[in-house]
Amino acid sequence: MNEIAPRSGIRERIGLRPIINVSGTMTALGASIVVPEAVAATTAILPEFVEINDLHRHASRAIARLTGAEAGFVTASCSAGVSLTVAAAMTGADLARIEQLPNPAGMRHRVPIMLGHMVGYGAPVEQAIRLAGATVVPFGQATDVRPYQLRAALDDATAAAMFVVSHHCVGYGQLPLAEFAAICHERNVPVIVDAASEYDLRGFLAAGADLVCYSAHKFMGGPTAGIVAGRKDLVRATFLQNMGIGRGMKVGKESILGTIAALEAWERRDHAGVRRTEQAALDHWRARFGALPGVHVALEPDPTHNPLDRLKLSVDPSTARITAWELADRLASGAPPVIVRDHEVEHGYFFLDPCNLHPGEAAVVADRIVAELDAARSGPGSNREPASARRERRFSRLLSWPD
């Protein structure tokens, strides 16, 4: 068995499992590995007092430079950014209206969103819209959206329109952002893009978005925070929500400065070198799994066009003697625990994402998968529990928290 170089041991000291993450930048797994620059910045600012609004001004300049926006703002998370940007579109810089929310009386409050974009990311995206007091206006069919349907959803009570970029969204039949934005701008309706887990810091604004919300703590490798970038008047109105519903979503000095450091590190990062490291892990996995009985492997590009591939591992239970979801569970429960990307596992496959690996972990992942498949073939066979039973068991465990 390949060994992993020891790290801090913090997880073991507090009784947490030392998991290996091949699922991706998932909030439930701690999002991502924070880059050293952000760790250093966070550590440096924690003992110091700062004038928070001046620190926010500093962050705005950094976000604007990196994204091409007029201004930027750091908030608690991308989800918080969605709520606050919707609120900003409803209130503008009117402090009385900001204090009035979530009561939308007298304000534009309708927010159209394509039905195929009404996804869950741990919570429903439409709930983040409703938190501002807005009314969600679904339009189109889940797999077929036409321009006339968007035009019909826009009226004098429309505050903003929401566009979601996510692997959870329906991948076909949707309006592209540039067309979506152009139609909204015919009615002077601002467009908000939820781009939580996206690499592209400039393309959404260039395509017509007025505000874009990102996670600082996913591909950026920053602390837990959200980044809002876009039109200065709308970003200012987003910032002013800290005097209203945004107070409970405020971000601390450490996350503001850590986000700036992560953005600046992103600018300097050797992205080609990162891709080479990820490709080496993918090549290693293909070589290890390619000839295994009952297993088929293939590379799949990221569905939202982030510049990365993942390994799709399909399992034929009649030959492998184990289902894909049982294999995922055995990997997660073994030593060391390996957490795969299993959103679609009921279809007989899961993915291995190389973007969050520490040195040596790719080989350990391969060893674990080979060992579990060998054990399944030589054992009595799985009980072929349906994927629905697994899903229900995991949901029941969630509902029993903190037990």
Evaluate whether 154 touches 125 at the Cβ level (below 8 Å).
no
State the average pLDDT over residues 233-258.
96
CA 82 to chain centre: 13
Count of all residues that appear for the chain in the document: 403
In sequence order, which residues have a C-beta less than 8 Å from that of residue 330 and are 6 or more positions away? Answer: 322, 372
More confident residue, 27 or 56: 56
Evaluate whether 20 touches 361 at the Cβ level (below 8 Å).
yes
Grade residue 383 by pLDDT with cuts at 50, 70 and 90. Answer: low
In one-letter notation, the amino acid at residue 226 is: G
Measure the CA angle with vertex 293, ends 292 and 298; round to 5°.
60
State the average pLDDT over residues 134-150.
96
More confident residue, 62 or 3: 62
Which pLDDT value is given to residue 117? 93
Grade residue 26 by pLDDT with cuts at 50, 70 and 90. Answer: confident
The CATH classification of domain 36-268, taken from the options 3.40.640.10, 3.40.50.150, 3.40.120.10, 3.40.50.300 = 3.40.640.10
Which pLDDT value is given to residue 315? 94
In sequence order, which residues have a C-beta less than 8 Å from that of residue 248 and are 6 or more positions away? Answer: none
Which pLDDT value is given to residue 382? 62
Please tell me the least confidently modeled range out of 12-16, 80-84, 199-203.
12-16
Task: Say which residue the tokens 């703590």 belong to.
Answer: 217
pLDDT in tens, 332-346: 999 999 999 988 888
* CA dihedral sign of residues 370, 375, 380, 384: negative
Q: Please check the confidence at residue 107 and state whether its pLDDT lies above 70.
A: yes
CATH class of the domain whose range is 10-30+270-399: alpha beta
In sequence order, which residues have a C-beta less than 8 Å from that of residue 43 and are 6 or more positions away? Answer: none
**DSSP H helical ranges for 14-169:** 36-45, 52-67, 78-91, 95-100, 125-130, 147-153
pLDDT in tens, 263-316: 999 888 888 888 999 999 999 999 999 889 999 999 989 888 888 899 999 999
CA–CA separation, 353 and 351 (whole Å): 6
Which residue in 175, 78, 159, 77 sits closest to 117, CA to CA? Answer: 175
Evaluate whether 116 touches 169 at the Cβ level (below 8 Å).
yes
* Two structure tokens written together for 138: 């679904």
Which pLDDT value is given to residue 11? 82
What share of the chain has pLDDT > 90, as a percent? Answer: 69
What is the pTM (predicted TM-score) of this model? 0.90
**What distance, in Å, lies between the first and last C-alpha atoms of the chain?**
34
In sequence order, which residues have a C-beta less than 8 Å from that of residue 135 and are 6 or more positions away? Answer: 104, 109, 110, 111
Domain ranges within the chain, ordered by starting residue: 10-30+270-399, 36-268
Which pLDDT value is given to residue 214? 94
Q: Please check the confidence at residue 25 and state whether its pLDDT lies above 90.
A: no
pLDDT, averaged across the chain: 91
Please tell me the least confidently modeled range out of 92-106, 183-197, 237-251, 302-316.
302-316
Please tell me the least confidently modeled range out of 15-29, 300-314, 323-337.
15-29
Which pLDDT value is given to residue 2? 59
